[in-house]
Structure 1
Amino acid sequence: MGRSDDRPRSVRRIDPRRRDKDLRAADLPAPFRVPTVGRRIAFPRTPGSHRDAYHFPVERGRADRAKRNVALTSVGAAIFLTGIKLAVGVGSGSLGLLAEAAQSGVDFVAATLTFLAIRISSREADATHQFGHARFENVSALFQTGLLLATCAWIAWQAVSRLVSGGHHVDPSIWTFAVLVLSITVDWWRSRALSRAARAHGSQALEADALHFSADIWSSLVVLVGLALVWLGDRLGTAPILASADSLAALVVAAIVAVVTARLGWSAVQALVDAAPAGLSEEVADIARSIPGVENVSRVRARRLGAWAFFDLHIAAPRTIAFTQAHAVADQVEDAIKARFGDADIVVHVEPAPSPRETTTDRVHLAARQRGLRVHDVRVREIAEGIEVDLHVELDPALPLARAHAIASELEDAIRAVDRDVHAVNTHLEAPIPGVQARIDITYERPEFVEVVRAIADRVVGAGATHSIRVFVSGAERDVVLHVALDSTIGVEDAHLISARIERALRAEVPLVGSILIHAEPEA
């Protein structure tokens, strides 16, 4: 699914900080390519697992609207329940029902705070809040914790006071029981709706609201049982413990709410102090290690910001690959993490590291790149004393020979340092021709020269195999370009050897030949 424009963008911390959308798996050499991973935004919710805390929305604008709507509906439900519980509680004298009214009042305040927090958290990041405003949801949840604890303390104090003073007359009626049944029904409806929205949008504020309404269900059931026992005690007239059942039920309500509050408060504190769920960093590291081209994962950090998560990890990639290839490896890591956890803000820092797959030729090119040099025609041979390397070093044509020789000697030392198996290094100094060179195309002016080239090449590869001959001249030298058709089943090495034979033959038989380029292609 496509990104919405207001979603936090992933950052690649490989200097320079520039995200190139074209650098993907296609830029990797074959050993580093992996199949494209399908994106799976949702994943099963397992209570208590880190997957609960990192379930991300797909479209932020639509998610914010859905969160606001469900929060606003909860505000209306809390107002309704508070009103009818308070009215019937005052009329019946039930402390348990008054406690329920107080808790529903707290639910109203909490739902209102949730609604406001969601409105604020949906704002875009700015210069002051560079990671966005999602923390307001966590602050709202923490504030709701204080309200709930204050409610629990008041309920417990009232219940103990009535138990010590000998109780208080409670007159349970059919309306009392009807209100409680209605309250349980509405609480069940709202808790289900809030829980679904909290899971779908990763909102701790909505999760807090869902806990409020879920606690109301159990507390209402306890009060319902307490009032039923009071009613039974009134009918029997001989069971004092039953007459105190309402106050005991209120204490149970306070205990339930206190437990739920403690869980909510701890969750809010964990989010505010950037606590990572247990096992999350290890799982992200395992995902990164599964990507070809990742040699190691040295650090993983994860933090939650409302519905969003931020992952920061350091990976080690082969030191011999190019910058663009390292960038593509980092992209593969990011895509794999998103396929597992959904969209998130991911920073991947790539560090070079030795790879068990690197060859002596790889190390030669590495040593040259570290010194800003270009080399070619690297040849590695094994002799009795060890490995010997030949290579051509490209240097500035205007460089004095003494300085050029010093640079080549430093490169030779560096190659021996990076590969202890190398016994000797032989360098050939080469001055590449800078810029664009002016040449005159004489192919059609000198057909006899073209036919000489064709005959020599056909003698090596077979009659009719040579075509597209071009001849360019600058001064006395002639540059030759030609195409030869070869057996499509032979290997690249054999094709190179045949091309080398053609070049040697041309230089031996044709005077004043400058550069020769032979393009080998499979015969039709």
Structure 2
Amino acid sequence: MNTAPAPRADNERLMRLATYASVATATILIIAKLAAWAMTGSVAILSTLIDSALDAAASLVNLWAVRHALTPADHDHRFGHGKAEPLAGLGQAAFILGSGALLLVEAVKRFFQPEEVTQGFIGIGVMVFSIVMTLGLVMFQKFVLTRARSVAIAADSLHYSGDVLINGSVIISLGSGMVLGWTFLDPLFAIAIALFLLWNAWSIAIGSMDMLMDRELSEDERARIIDIAKSHDEVLGLHDLRTRLSGQIGFIQMHLELDPQLPLVRAHAIADGVEKAIEAAFPNFEVIIHQDPAGIRESHPGADDRV
């Protein structure tokens, strides 16, 4: 947030490209892993196939969500359509939760009824290919996230970052089964992957709910806003600071406490200066400031007494 944002049109173009790249990568990996699973019979490869299928479904949801979230505000949606992103995040969490649970059941069953993995070198080759593809996608997603704040793309990037570790664990599993005959590692790694998927589902759900429920910015960010507002010589105090995020756009509103004898024109100029200073520090945030005479504290529903 300390870096000046790129032009908004460039941000939106990058976000759309990230969703297209995600869908394309997941599709290619599904085809490759399906072939590898058919040849090896590895439940660990099956787990990564399920994960890639989930990634494809989640990426398609993201594609819709990002396109909708980038739709400009209109008469019926004055605050924009940004909450389409956390809604997509909840959908992703549900996909991952269900598939993680199914994979866990299958892996536990295979643990007690182990089967020999065949054509292990093919499976390892596909996993190496998957790691290279996934790393390229994650690097592009991380670049996009440095330019634009996106819950949907961040959730997608979390999936694929985990996939790098998952694919690496499958290589270890297949290699140990081929060289040492440790067939128990195949379902064991699948169980670990299933638990990782469940943890991912929980993390994504919490982040999405925070945005849908208009969770405040962090205490450090709030403190920074307060410091910027109070740095103006004529600001005597502030209260009722409220913040929230909605996709790419954030909202900050507050009441500034000013000298009661100031002319309205001067009070407006002070508020305008504070607004510009906050917007410079918090790109893509809309700032709304109300001017109050110092010494008069109004009662507002949900007012914050911390400032």
Residue pair 1:57, 1:202 contacting (<8 A) in 2 also: no
1:208-239 CA-partner distances (Å, limit 9, x unpaired): 110111010011111111111111233xxxxx
The whole-number CA distance in structure 1 between the counterparts of 2:186 and 2:179 is 12
Q: Which residue among 207, 211, 218 is the counterpart of 2:158?
A: 211
Greater share of strand: 1
Partner of 1:129: 77
1:229-281 CA-partner distances (Å, limit 9, x unpaired): 111233xxxxxxx1111000101111222222221111111111011132132
Q: Which residue among 149, 170, 177 is the counterpart of 1:230?
A: 177
User: What root-mean-square deviation, in Å, do the aligned CA atoms of Structure 1 and Structure 2 show?
Assistant: 1.6
The alpha-carbon distance between structure 1 residues 110 and 57, as it changes in their structure 2 partners (threshold 3 A), is farther
Q: How does 1:59-70 map to 2 (within 5 A)?
A: 59-70=7-18
Letter of the 2:286 counterpart: D
Partner of 1:110: 58
Partner of 1:7: none
The whole-number CA distance in structure 2 between the counterparts of 1:176 and 1:262 is 30
Which portions of structure 1, spanning 4 or more consecutive aligned residues, are displaced by more than 4 angstroms?
none
- Deviation of residue 192 (structure 1)? 1.4
1:56-106 CA-partner distances (Å, limit 9, x unpaired): 844333221211112101111100001100111121000000110110011
The whole-number CA distance in structure 1 between the counterparts of 2:12 and 2:283 is 17
1:406-447 CA-partner distances (Å, limit 9, x unpaired): xxxxxxxxxxxxxxxxxxxxxxxxxxxxxxxxxxxxxxxxxx
Letter of the 1:275 counterpart: R
Partner of 1:89: 37
Partner of 2:233: 292
Does 2:109 correspond to 1:169? no
The whole-number CA distance in structure 1 between the counterparts of 2:76 and 2:83 is 13
Residue pair 2:93, 2:200 contacting (<8 A) in 1 also: no
- Count how many residue pairs are aligned between Structure 1 and Structure 2: 295
Residue pair 1:315, 1:348 contacting (<8 A) in 2 also: yes
Partner of 1:309: 250
Partner of 2:214: 274
The whole-number CA distance in structure 2 between the counterparts of 1:58 and 1:71 is 19
Residue pair 2:120, 2:175 contacting (<8 A) in 1 also: no
The whole-number CA distance in structure 2 between the counterparts of 1:258 and 1:196 is 26
1:421-479 CA-partner distances (Å, limit 9, x unpaired): xxxxxxxxxxxxxxxxxxxxxxxxxxxxxxxxxxxxxxxxxxxxxxxxxxxxxxxxxxx
> Identity of aligned pairs, percent?
27
The whole-number CA distance in structure 2 between the counterparts of 1:343 and 1:215 is 29
Does 2:20 correspond to 1:79? no
TM-score, normalised to structure 2, is 0.92
* Structure with max Cα Rg: 1
The whole-number CA distance in structure 2 between the counterparts of 1:232 and 1:152 is 29
Letter of the 1:64 counterpart: E
Does 2:295 correspond to 1:350? no
- Deviation of residue 284 (structure 1)? 1.1
TM-score, normalised to structure 1, is 0.55
The whole-number CA distance in structure 2 between the counterparts of 1:172 and 1:232 is 13
The whole-number CA distance in structure 2 between the counterparts of 1:172 and 1:146 is 34
Partner of 2:100: 152
1:294-348 CA-partner distances (Å, limit 9, x unpaired): 1011121000010111001011111111100000110111011112112421110
5+ residue gaps, structure 1, are 1-41, 45-55, 235-241, 355-524
1:21-59 CA-partner distances (Å, limit 9, x unpaired): xxxxxxxxxxxxxxxxxxxxx526xxxxxxxxxxx8443
Q: How does 1:339-488 map to 2 (within 5 A)?
A: 339-353=280-294
Residue pair 1:152, 1:254 contacting (<8 A) in 2 also: yes
Residue pair 1:172, 1:231 contacting (<8 A) in 2 also: no
The whole-number CA distance in structure 2 between the counterparts of 1:220 and 1:92 is 15
The whole-number CA distance in structure 2 between the counterparts of 1:326 and 1:228 is 71
Partner of 1:246: 186
Partner of 1:333: 274
The whole-number CA distance in structure 2 between the counterparts of 1:172 and 1:245 is 16
The whole-number CA distance in structure 2 between the counterparts of 1:262 and 1:192 is 24
The whole-number CA distance in structure 2 between the counterparts of 1:343 and 1:110 is 26
Residue pair 2:174, 2:186 contacting (<8 A) in 1 also: yes
Residue pair 2:279, 2:286 contacting (<8 A) in 1 also: no
Residue pair 2:149, 2:247 contacting (<8 A) in 1 also: yes
Partner of 1:200: 147
Structure with the bigger RCO (C-alpha within 8 Å, sep 6+) is 2
Residue pair 1:294, 1:316 contacting (<8 A) in 2 also: yes
The whole-number CA distance in structure 1 between the counterparts of 2:284 and 2:209 is 24
